Amino acid sequence: MSRTALVLLLVAAAVFVSACGGSDSAPTLAEYEQSVVTARDRVDFALARITKAKAKEEFLNRMDEASAAIDNAASDLDQAGAAEGFEDETGKLTDALHQLSVDLSATAHDLRQPEGQGLVSGAQGLNFESWDQANLALASLIGQGIDVELIGRH
């Protein structure tokens, strides 16, 4: 093989490898902030929809829908990655959101069971530790300069 052909082959290989490796880089701070805000907004919207249900079955179905939406938001945030220095908070936030998804799904399941009928009679609302943990992670991000709101109570 000629020297020129070898150099061209190496250059082509380097271009190919660099084109394939673009997903390993961390997002910029602005991209990261947008990912966090988008995830938070998706979670907040899903939770708000639950409270607008007019009947028990609609309420439970919206809990299931919120569970799926929150899990997807957490996965999307995790896949987008964290800006440098925000890895721990991102991990805490995505873990809390995944757990919130599980909590909502499990609660909807339990409320559908005959023995679960009395769980919400007289209740003022539902509270999940995972919701608190997600807001603690968001508060930490806010403290570090990320412009995002906490997840609202609905």
pTM over 0.85: no
Confidence (pLDDT) at 12: 43
Cα–Cα–Cα angle for 64, 88, 38, rounded to 5 degrees: 45
Give percent of the chain above pLDDT 90.
Answer: 73
Confidence of residue 62 (pLDDT cuts 50, 70, 90): very high
Confidence (pLDDT) at 58: 96
Confidence (pLDDT) at 1: 56
Confidence (pLDDT) at 91: 98
Domain ranges of the chain: 28-117+124-143
Alpha carbons 36 and 130: distance in angstroms, whole number: 17
Average pLDDT over residues 37-64: 96
Full 3-state SS string of 35-96: HHHHHHHHHHHHHHHHHCCCCHHHHHHHHHHHHHHHHHHHHHHHHHCCCCCCHHHHHHHHHH
Structure tokens at 150: 């906490």
pLDDT tens string 1-30? 545 443 334 444 444 444 444 456 899 999
Confidence (pLDDT) at 154: 85
